[in-house]
Copies of this chain bind each other. A is one copy, B any other.
Amino acid sequence: MKPSMEEKKRLKRDRIFRAASKIFSEKGYFETTVADIAKEAGVSFGTVFTYFETKEMLYETVILEQLEEIKPHFLDIQGTFTGDPMEIITAMVDRHVTIFSEKSEFLRLVQQVLARLDRYPALFEELDSFVSDFIESVSPVLEEGQKMGVFYPDPHDLLAHSYMSTLNGMRLTYIDDPSNLRLWEALKIQAIRLFGPYHHPDGARKW
């Protein structure tokens, strides 16, 4: 096969992948037909099966590959963010909320999966270990912040879990307008407050 052939194949796979992500996130797994995806991708629906064995595998692939993309932002907290613990958490929350506000397509998919975890065991396992890895990654920061007295003295897994809950919940609370900056900014602060009391940088009040 000529290199250009491989390149062409890669591009076509990508077209199908992106079409699937879009349509699945909009209509959910069951109301999406393979024909829908093929049409969006501009290929015949037979071609979809050339690149992905079944509809179900396509769905899982679409989610898992995008999860890989965002992993670095969650699994190397200390390598990615610097400063004192509150600065690290603030930067982390900022990054995460920004990612989620931009990746609403992916987040919708995650919601769908979370609503049917037993239905997708492979995805469940992946998401579960993702959360575990995140806890492990953020733990040292929490530890230090707790020692310094700027974070609540609760167990790390609880803090991390409720943070993940809140991130997830954000998308659910009817926020589909990524341009609603005021809301997203406010949600960032609310997320930070899960770790420790937080006052607005510009606030006159202190807590």
Contact = CB atoms under 8 A, between A and B. Distances in A.
A114 interface: yes
Contact of A193 (B116, B149, B161, B194): B194
Contacts of A152: 193, 207
A190 interface: yes
A189 B31 contact: no
A82 interface: no
Among A118, A152, A186, A187: residue with most chain B CB under 10 A = A152
State the oligomeric state as a number of copies. 4
A172 B173 CA distance: 13
17 contacts: A28-B115, A108-B115, A111-B115, A114-B172, A115-B172, A131-B173, A154-B186, A155-B186, A161-B173, A162-B170, A162-B173, A162-B186, A164-B173, A166-B166, A168-B169, A168-B173, A169-B169
Interface of A: 26-31, 108, 111-112, 114-119, 128, 131, 149, 152-155, 158-159, 161-162, 164-170, 172-174, 183, 186-187, 189-190, 193-194, 197, 203, 205, 207
